């Protein structure tokens, strides 16, 4: 791979809903550019970017991949991002590395949810955006219907610069509205240039007028001329397209049929000619050690500033970090400083990746994307710089994973291997979170959705040889008592040999929520000797930790030891521990058990049209609506308190309810008593599990 100046590099990310043909489009571009000798097919599992066995099995992209393409003296770093909502973390990483987005939309299905979600992310990042209408050769494909959907979703900044020649099975090429030339494809990947077809000339002119209007709206000087003269020259339109793209004010639409390589060459030329290079993008802002910020342009001679945007765990090579250099350059066999972790790293061999294949490079200059293996501490989101100039770039803002699944190794001896596998898959995908629950004593994996968790579990098995069992994470209920009560614990065994004798009388009363546990000694006259008073407390605390009726700890009670009996020979520490535990169980039997459940505070951000469904769903989940407020862009923020037990699958339910257009956050708020009908069900399930266990 040759070295390229920043002005001759293009970093683009292919984004869009799952199934629109992003991976196939990349195959077509690679084949057309001569980077591959044949086009792979998703059905055959032999595409460049979908090389992971899990991607081959599922037929979808589950991980971000890189594939550089050399086209007319320009290096195009193409990032193929997953289109499935569960893998949005990789999309966010790719947006930080790219200088422009290519949104791929199916001509059959039109604008879909994930396209809209990523469009908002790209708009927030200020990234230039172009749109590729793909699958125009498929049955029920419609260019006009898809274009209308795009304009409806994203506004008049969307305008075509290409039109299809034919549709469905008759789709055979395209016309370029800028040059007024036609490109026909007769079996080869490169279009044969010719004049506009006469029957398309009349149809194309209105689109060309629409293009001129959209370009003019993105540039004040062109708008003034367009309003005065009613038209723009070809040169002005081309200049306006590039300027509008660079400022993210104009989104041109191109046409392709990736499976037949139609339009792939024109797309590559468009990326090379019209999309901004790293040198055209605004400088990045870095944070210096003293707290000051500084802007850094894309300059290979500048101080090193690079961002790691993706980490891949390879079972043979080890950890591979993909990074984008914003300033300076990275050379092999050199030292870099990880400013995020405050550690020095040794760079060995540098390479670029085309799917799973590595190609060694002599350096990675500003504006380019590279890869390095075996850095000891570096993970996704870290900034690489030099020790004397330790600056940091803003980290990658990742979504919070909220679907909780408990995991455990299938084989008892695999606990150590499991912790290693978890650490490695978290390096691959930092949106995955794994915690040990102190309340339920489970290892809980938090993912973006079922597909995300399934993929991570499969990855642990395939890459690291750890087979895990999954089940829904237990809700951390707690027990307390309903009313003050007095009870006795009697543990007397005197059937030959050394006996056991301990009797304790306690009073148990509930405390306010969050008060914890209090133990009061009110023994008078030595009815329980001093050395056994802590033994009673120890037995009560142990019974509280294990749970009296359910396997959930007891909280918020005060226990007062006020009387008891002992035997000068048979009483012991253990006897009084057992008596204390028995006394607590007797107290619960008399006073009645109150089961407490965690209540979470939920914030949902959703389009206004879904607020009724969301509020109705919260009401059905025993939720309490706290408030609702506008959040701009036609969205509402709904706040509610909901029992955690009702929210275990909310990540999936909300996506289904809003077609993926809503997001939510969830934080623990407080504990409150479970309604009797729910408590009965939880207690019955606990007893059943105890009998079976």
CA angle (460, 465, 469) in 5-degree steps: 60
Cα–Cα nearest to 672, from 483, 478, 441: 478
Same domain, 186 and 88: yes
Same domain, 345 and 366: yes
Which CATH number do you get for residue 443?
Answer: 3.30.70.870
Q: Does residue 245 form part of some domain?
A: no
Euclidean distance between CA atoms 236 and 219, whole angstroms? 11
Residue 149's SS3 state is helix
Looking at residue 111, what DSSP letter applies? S
Positive or negative: CA dihedral 325, 329, 335, 340: negative
Same domain, 80 and 135: yes
- What letters, b where the CB count within 10 A reaches 16 and e where it falls short, cover 637-650? bbbbbbbbbbbbeb
Edge-to-edge order in the sheet of strand 357-360: 343-347, 334-338, 383-385, 305-314, 318-327, 369-373, 350-354, 357-360
Same domain, 411 and 465: yes
Positive or negative: CA dihedral 354, 358, 362, 366: positive
Cα–Cα nearest to 157, from 247, 275, 263, 280: 247
Which CATH number do you get for residue 670?
Answer: 3.30.70.240
Residue 586's domain spans which residues? 479-591
Q: Going by C-beta distance under 8 Å and a sequence separation of 6 or more, which residues neighbour residue 607?
A: 634, 635, 636, 658, 661, 662
Same domain, 502 and 635: no
Q: Does residue 244 form part of some domain?
A: no
List C-alpha distances in Å: 640 to 153, 476, 621: 30, 20, 11
Residue 207 near residue 177 (C-beta atoms within 8 A): yes
List C-alpha distances in Å: 235 to 19, 168, 224: 37, 33, 16
Euclidean distance between CA atoms 433 and 400, whole angstroms? 9
Looking at residue 197, what DSSP letter applies? P
Query: What torsion do the CA atoms of 29, 35, 37, 38 make, to the nearest 10 degrees?
Result: -30
Q: What 3 state SS string does 537-568 have?
A: HHHHHHHHHHCCCCCCCECCEEEEEEEEECCC
Same domain, 349 and 365: yes
Check residue 14 and give its pLDDT. 96
Same domain, 159 and 260: yes
Q: Whole-model pTM? A: 0.86
**Boundary residue ending a domain (540, 566, 591):** 591
Query: What torsion do the CA atoms of 161, 167, 168, 173 make, to the nearest 10 degrees?
Result: -60
Same domain, 381 and 428: no
Which CATH number do you get for residue 347?
Answer: 2.40.30.10
Euclidean distance between CA atoms 266 and 190, whole angstroms? 8
Residue 260 near residue 137 (C-beta atoms within 8 A): yes
Q: Does residue 55 form part of some domain?
A: yes
Query: What torsion do the CA atoms of 97, 101, 102, 103 make, to the nearest 10 degrees?
Result: 120
Euclidean distance between CA atoms 15 and 182, whole angstroms? 27
Check residue 464 and give its pLDDT. 84
Same domain, 42 and 183: yes
**Boundary residue ending a domain (280, 298, 318):** 280
Check residue 85 and give its pLDDT. 86
Residue 549 near residue 594 (C-beta atoms within 8 A): no
Q: Does residue 690 form part of some domain?
A: no
Q: Does residue 576 form part of some domain?
A: yes
The backbone torsions φ and ψ at residue 654, rounded to the nearest 5 degrees and listed phi first, read -65, -40
H/E segment holding residue 244 = helix 234-246
Check residue 497 and give its pLDDT. 66
Same domain, 452 and 484: no
Q: Does residue 395 form part of some domain?
A: no
Which CATH number do you get for residue 567?
Answer: 3.30.230.10
Residue numbers in the chain where pLDDT is lower than 70: 315, 495-497, 693
Q: What is the DSSP string of 52-80?
A: SHHHHHHTS--S-EEEEEEETTEEEEEEE
CB-side exposure of 675: number of CA atoms within 13 Å? 7
Same domain, 275 and 343: no
Cross-strand pairs, 636: 606, 630
Q: Does residue 28 form part of some domain?
A: yes
Check residue 496 and give its pLDDT. 64
Which CATH number do you get for residue 68?
Answer: 3.40.50.300
Cβ neighbours around 65 below 10 Å, total: 28
Same domain, 267 and 162: yes
182 CB burial (10 A radius; 0-12, 13-18, 19+): buried
Q: Does residue 26 form part of some domain?
A: yes
**Boundary residue ending a domain (591, 614, 636):** 591
Check residue 586 and give its pLDDT. 95
Euclidean distance between CA atoms 480 and 588, whole angstroms? 8
Check residue 602 and give its pLDDT. 95
Domains in the chain, number:
5
Euclidean distance between CA atoms 439 and 401, whole angstroms? 20
Helix and strand tally (H, E) in the chain?
Answer: 16, 36
H/E segment holding residue 685 = helix 676-692
């Amino acid at each position: 791979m040759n070295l390229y100046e920043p002005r001759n590099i293009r970093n683009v990310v292919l984004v869009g809903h799952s199934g629109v043909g992003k991976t196939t489009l990349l195959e077509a571009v690679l084949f057309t550019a001569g980077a591959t000798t044949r086009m792979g097919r998703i059905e055959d599992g032999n595409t460049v970017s979908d090389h992971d066995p899990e991607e081959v099995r599922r037929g979808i992209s589950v991980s971000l991949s890189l594939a550089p393409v050399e086209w007319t003296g320009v290096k195009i770093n193409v990032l193929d991002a997953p289109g499935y909502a569960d893998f949005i973390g990789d999309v966010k990483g790719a947006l930080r590395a790219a200088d422009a987005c290519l949104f791929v939309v199916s001509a059959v299905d039109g604008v879909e949810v994930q396209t809209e979600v990523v469009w908002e992310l790209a708009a927030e990042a200020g990234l230039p955006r172009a749109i590729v209408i793909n699958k125009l050769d498929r049955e029920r494909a419609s260019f006009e219907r898809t274009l209308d959907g795009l304009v409806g979703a994203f506004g008049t900044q969307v305008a075509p610069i290409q039109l299809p020649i034919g549709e469905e099975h008759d789709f055979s090429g395209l016309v370029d509205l800028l040059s007024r030339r036609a490109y026909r494809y007769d079996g080869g990947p490169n279009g044969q240039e010719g004049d506009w077809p006469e029957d398309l000339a009349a149809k194309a002119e209105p689109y060309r007028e629409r293009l001129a209007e959209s370009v003019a709206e993105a540039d004040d000087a062109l708008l003034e001329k367009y309003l005065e003269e009613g038209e723009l020259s070809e040169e002005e339109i081309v200049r306006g397209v590039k300027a509008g793209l660079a400022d993210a004010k104009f989104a041109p639409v191109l046409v392709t049929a990736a499976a037949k390589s139609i339009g792939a060459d024109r797309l590559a030329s468009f990326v090379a000619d019209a999309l901004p290079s790293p040198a055209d993008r605004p400088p990045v802002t870095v944070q210096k050690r003293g707290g000051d910020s500084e802007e850094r342009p894309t300059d290979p001679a500048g101080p090193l500033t690079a961002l790691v945007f993706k980490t891949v765990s390879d079972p043979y090579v080890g950890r591979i970090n993909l990074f984008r250099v914003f300033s300076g350059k990275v050379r092999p066999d050199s030292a870099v400083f990880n400013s995020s972790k405050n550690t020095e790293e040794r760079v060995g061999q540098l390479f670029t990746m085309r799917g799973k294949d590595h190609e060694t490079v002599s350096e990675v200059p500003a504006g380019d994307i590279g890869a390095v293996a075996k850095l000891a501490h570096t993970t996704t989101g870290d900034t690489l710089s030099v020790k004397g100039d330790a600056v940091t770039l803003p980290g990658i803002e990742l979504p919070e994973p909220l679907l909780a699944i408990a995991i455990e190794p299938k084989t008892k001896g695999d606990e150590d291997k499991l912790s290693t596998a978890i650490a490695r898959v978290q390096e691959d995908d930092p949106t995955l979170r794994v915690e040990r629950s102190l309340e339920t004593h489970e290892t809980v994996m938090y993912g973006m959705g079922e597909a995300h968790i399934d993929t991570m579990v499969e990855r642990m098995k395939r890459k690291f040889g750890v087979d895990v069992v999954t089940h829904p994470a237990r809700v951390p209920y707690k027990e307390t008592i309903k009313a003050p009560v007095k009870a006795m614990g009697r543990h007397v065994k005197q059937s030959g040999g050394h006996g056991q004798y301990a009797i304790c009388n306690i009073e148990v009363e509930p405390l306010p929520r969050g008060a914890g546990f209090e133990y009061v000694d009110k023994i008078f006259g030595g009815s329980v000797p001093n050395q056994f008073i802590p033994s009673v407390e120890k037995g009560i605390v142990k019974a509280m930790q294990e749970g009296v009726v359910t396997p959930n700890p007891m909280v918020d009670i005060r226990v007062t030891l006020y009387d008891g009996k002992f035997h000068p020979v048979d009483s012991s520490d253990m006897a009084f521990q057992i008596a204390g535990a028995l006394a607590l169980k007797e107290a619960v039997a008399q006073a009645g058990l109150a089961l407490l459940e965690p209540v979470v505070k939920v914030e949902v951000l959703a389009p206004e049209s879904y607020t009724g469904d969301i509020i109705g769903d919260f009401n059905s989940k025993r939720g309490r609506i706290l408030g609702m407020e506008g959040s701009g862009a036609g969205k509402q923020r709904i706040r509610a308190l909901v029992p955690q037990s009702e929210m275990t699958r909310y990540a999936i339910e909300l996506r289904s309810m809003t077609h993926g257009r809503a997001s939510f956050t969830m934080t623990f708020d407080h504990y409150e008593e479970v309604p009797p009908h729910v408590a009965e069900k939880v207690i019955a399930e606990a007893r059943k599990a105890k009998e079976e266990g």
